[in-house]
Chain A
């Protein structure tokens, strides 16, 4: 069965510092990978996605992620964090059409930004 692990439950970072959020997945087929952000009481916003091709993916709000097949990882990075980046971040793996195109989410990482 597929699974997604986000090892860090909380991360605190100073404004202007770099941020890296870890994501490891387990899935038998080629993964479709996603990063979403959720502000309190809000829905999910897609930051970026990886389907195929270039393993370094650029997203919105200055985020990027790198797919490393050998490590089963899809870590999210941002060079310089803004106070507005404080939120919950979810990594997800999308299953194939045969498996219903379902999404499996990681447990999430809460990012706190210090002034």
Chain B
């Protein structure tokens, strides 16, 4: 149980284009989804938190107009990198959690490697 998928696993795009990454919870309802970014040989940095049906909450320094997050259903959240540039190339990982009593553990997706040429 608690499986999270991401699509695509890899994407290469030209500078200036937009890229959408999907994050799905396959066997549970994800009331909250998180988006992380990981540069090579670095740790994960939280970009934003999204609750189903609400606007995402972005961490300090993350441009919300650049990284559009939608969490329209309890099983799907999307991250759209708008007008991507080479510096946006990174590994993007999502996680999902289900509201319950106690701590709501996060379950991670396999990640999406974005390369912007």
B61 to chain A: closest CB distance in Å? Answer: 14
Are B93 and A44 neighbours in the complex by a CB distance under 8 Å? Answer: yes
- Residue A114 at the chain B interface, CB threshold 8 Å: no
Are B43 and A102 neighbours in the complex by a CB distance under 8 Å? Answer: no
Are A105 and B44 neighbours in the complex by a CB distance under 8 Å? Answer: yes
* Residues of chain A within 8 A of B6, CB atoms compared: 43
Nearest A-chain residue to B45, judged by Cβ: A105
Segment of A53-61, A62-70, A76-84, A93-101 in the binding face: A93-101
Residue B43 contacts which of A32, A42, A90, A101 (CB distance < 8 angstroms)? A90
- Residue B80 at the chain A interface, CB threshold 8 Å: no
Residue B103 contacts which of A101, A107, A108 (CB distance < 8 angstroms)? A101
Interface residues of B in 3-29 (CB under 8 A from A): 6
A39 to chain B: closest CB distance in Å? Answer: 11
A68 to chain B: closest CB distance in Å? Answer: 20
- Residue A28 at the chain B interface, CB threshold 8 Å: no
B13 to chain A: closest CB distance in Å? Answer: 18
Segment of B71-79, B82-90, B107-115 in the binding face: B107-115
For chain B, give the interface size range.
Answer: 20 to 34
Are A108 and B43 neighbours in the complex by a CB distance under 8 Å? Answer: yes
Are B43 and A97 neighbours in the complex by a CB distance under 8 Å? Answer: no
* Residues of chain A within 8 A of B70, CB atoms compared: none
A43 to B108, CA, bound (A): 7
Interface residues of A in 17-67 (CB under 8 A from B): 32, 36, 41-44, 46, 49, 51
A36 to B103, CA, bound (A): 17
**Can you list 29 A-B pairs, Cβ within 8 angstroms, ordered by A?**
A32-B103, A36-B108, A41-B91, A41-B113, A42-B110, A42-B111, A43-B6, A43-B93, A43-B108, A43-B110, A43-B111, A44-B44, A44-B93, A49-B105, A51-B103, A90-B43, A94-B106, A96-B103, A97-B103, A100-B49, A100-B57, A101-B97, A101-B103, A101-B104, A101-B106, A102-B46, A103-B46, A106-B43, A107-B42
Binding site for B on A (CB under 8 A): 32, 36, 41-44, 46, 49, 51, 90, 94, 96-97, 100-108, 110
